[in-house]
Amino acid sequence: MPFDGRDVVVTGGTGALGAAVVGALVQAGAVCTVPWLHENEAERFPYREKKQVKLVGPVDLADEAAVNRLFAAVPALWASVHIAGGFAMSPVAKTGKAQLMQQIDINLVSCFLCCAAAVNAIGRTGQGGRIVNVSSRPALEWRIGAGMAAYTATKAAVAALTVALSEEVAKEGILVNAVAPSIMDTPANRAAMPKANYDLWPKVEEVAATILFLASPENKVTRGAVVPVYGKS
């Protein structure tokens, strides 16, 4: 899936899945813009020295003006991959408004603002492009969202946003899709669940491969999909 110098924004690119996506994009020839919020994210990012990678920060993705500046600085955007987000485990009865609003900001608002900015940036090229969002398994299977309802609701909203937006922009040649991972095999998840069977979890490189296809010029017809990437789990 050659990207041949195409510009791609990857939010959440300094995380486990994000780094796998950026690594695969760089190998495929893309030029990646990767925003960060906390400096330690940029410092530990394995691709920070790559010529094809531009780290930009600090950027608050829930800040509309900051998001618009980020995308305005990309010369000719081809694709935008929105991985940034956050998880919270909390039952409804113990989730206050502040916690709810935090989940809304980091999962839904950030994705919405980046989608809007990406549509405008891709539109300026007149060449079409791709948007890939990251939802989650509980967003598709609501019952397993028990105990994390705020997270589940915001990731379900990302899925709905993806499908609605795909209809809005299809005629502009912008194909919008999402992936919905189950628990992925990351160091943080292994530490949180030391007794789990890690062999069943999808690997970040495997999820990245699906994202890469959806974001690539090779994807000519798929839009409005929220693709389960569950592995064997």
The per-residue pLDDT for 222 is: 98
The per-residue pLDDT for 185 is: 86
Q: Given a cut of 90, is residue 233 above it in pLDDT?
A: no
Region of poorest pLDDT, from 69-73, 123-127, 190-194: 190-194
Q: Kindly report the average pLDDT of the chain as a whole number.
A: 96
**Strand ranges (DSSP E) for 83-170?**
129-134
Rg of the chain's alpha carbons, rounded to an integer?
17
The per-residue pLDDT for 59 is: 98
Pair of tokens at residue 71: 């995308």
Q: Residue 28 — φ and ψ, nearest 5°?
A: -85, 0
Q: Which class does domain 7-229 fall in?
A: alpha beta
Q: 140-175 b/e with 16+ CB inside 10 Å = b?
A: beeeebeebbbbbbbbbbbbebbeebbeebeeeebb
The per-residue pLDDT for 55 is: 98
Q: Given a cut of 90, is residue 1 above it in pLDDT?
A: no
Q: Residue 222 — φ and ψ, nearest 5°?
A: -85, 125
DSSP letter for 143, please: G
Decide: helix, strand or coil at residue 53: strand
**18-31 pLDDT, tens digit each:** 999 999 999 999 99
pLDDT-based confidence at residue 13 (cuts at 50, 70, 90): very high
**165-196 pLDDT, tens digit each:** 999 999 999 999 999 999 988 888 899 899 99
Determine contact, residues 47/66, Cβ cutoff 8 Å: no
Region of poorest pLDDT, from 121-130, 174-183, 194-203: 194-203
Domain boundaries, the chain: 7-229
174-181 β-sheet, strand order: 53-56, 31-35, 7-11, 77-82, 129-134, 174-181, 226-229
pLDDT-based confidence at residue 12 (cuts at 50, 70, 90): very high
Which secondary structure element, helix H or strand E, spans residue 110, and what is its range? helix 110-125
Q: What is the pTM of this model?
A: 0.96
Give the integer Cα–Cα distance in Å for 160 and 139: 9
Residues 122-150: what's their mean pLDDT? Answer: 97
